């Protein structure tokens, strides 16, 4: 990390910890998935998670960890190279709120992969505009898209672009795909099924980063499935493996992932 990023990480960590950021949601998710966790275990878990969140956020905001071909901190998993080459011809890419997932976008763009990432508007508008133009862009190239109509996704695919979907959030719509994550039922985004309904030959990929000390390693794999349910079955197997290996790096713990499928005290949306 750069000095600037380390300073920002320290500020972010202190702010998140003192403010009690997402503590209630985290506690409820841990109690739901791991009911045997003690109060001390949950406190230690939260401490590690907040350190990871603040580290990754600081790196991303300061752009101190953006892929460069000659930077030894970045590696590509050798088995993923053929998959990444195929991704240059477009398709559907799934990822998750895992590790420093935000830097995948700039990394892929700098590898000449035609990424288009779906995003939701933020408030206030001035902050949304700043995120759009300064954070979700690299080398003056913006790679994010607000989806007004699902047909925009089909247009993107027809243009041979790679449409990215962060697929580990609760889907609060009547048209959902049922799934299981960490042994609990979840509602999943219908977009993969919508894509297969209209473009059944669309290639589907999962892309993520792993860490080895200061190194970040890019991974990509192609999955085959005939419907949205099978896509999420394979996606969840992958995600559960990542969570098993590094549980405090899955930031889905602070999202209301299970809201639609559990009797809960949650009162508001994520």
User: Per-residue pLDDT for 85 more than 90?
Assistant: yes
Q: Which helix (H) or strand (E) holds 177?
A: strand 177-181
Do β-strands 74-76 and 91-95 pair in parallel, antiparallel, or remain unpaired? Answer: unpaired
Over residues 121-136, the pLDDT tens digits come to: 666 777 667 666 666 7
65: confidence class by pLDDT, cuts 50, 70, 90: confident
Residue 83 CA: distances (Å) to CA of 62, 86, 215, 225, 234: 29, 5, 21, 16, 17
Q: Where do we find the tokens 């985004």? A: 189
Segment 30-55 mean pLDDT: 96
Segment 21-26 mean pLDDT: 96
At 127 the pLDDT is 67
Quick check: helix, strand or coil at residue 50?
helix
Average pLDDT score, the chain? 90
Which CB contacts under 8 angstroms, 24+ apart, belong to 256-259? 256/25, 256/170, 257/29, 257/168, 257/169, 257/170, 257/181, 257/186, 258/29, 258/32, 258/170, 258/184, 258/185, 258/186, 259/170, 259/172
Percent of the chain with pLDDT strictly greater than 90: 69
Residue (of 124, 194, 212) closest to 156 by Cα position: 194
At 224 the pLDDT is 94
User: Per-residue pLDDT for 177 more than 90?
Assistant: yes
């Amino acid at each position: 990390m750069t000095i600037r990023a380390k300073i920002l990480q320290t500020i972010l960590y202190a702010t998140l910890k003192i403010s009690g950021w997402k503590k209630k949601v985290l506690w409820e998710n841990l109690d739901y998935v791991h009911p045997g966790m003690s109060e001390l275990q949950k406190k230690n878990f939260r401490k590690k998670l907040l350190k990871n969140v603040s580290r990754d956020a600081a790196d991303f905001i300061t752009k101190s960890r953006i892929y460069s071909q000659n930077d030894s901190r970045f590696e590509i998993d050798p088995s993923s190279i053929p998959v990444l080459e195929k991704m240059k011809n477009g398709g559907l890419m799934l990822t998750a709120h895992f590790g420093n997932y935000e830097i995948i976008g700039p990394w892929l763009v700098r590898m000449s992969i035609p990424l288009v990432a779906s995003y939701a508007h933020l408030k206030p508008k001035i902050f949304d505009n700043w995120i759009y133009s300064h954070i979700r862009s690299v080398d003056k190239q913006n790679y994010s898209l607000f989806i007004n109509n699902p047909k925009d996704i089909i247009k993107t695919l027809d243009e041979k672009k790679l449409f990215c979907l962060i697929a580990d959030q609760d889907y609060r719509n009547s048209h959902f795909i049922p799934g299981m994550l960490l042994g609990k039922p979840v509602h999943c985004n219908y977009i993969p099924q919508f894509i297969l309904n209209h473009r059944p030959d669309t290639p589907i990929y999962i892309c993520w980063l792993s860490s080895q000390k200061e190194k970040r390693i890019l991974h990509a794999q192609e999955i085959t499935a005939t419907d949205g349910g099978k896509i999420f079955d394979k996606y969840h197997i992958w995600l559960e493996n990542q969570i098993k290996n590094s549980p405090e790096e899955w930031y889905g713990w602070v999202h209301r992932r299970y809201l639609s499928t559990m009797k809960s005290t949650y009162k508001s949306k994520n």
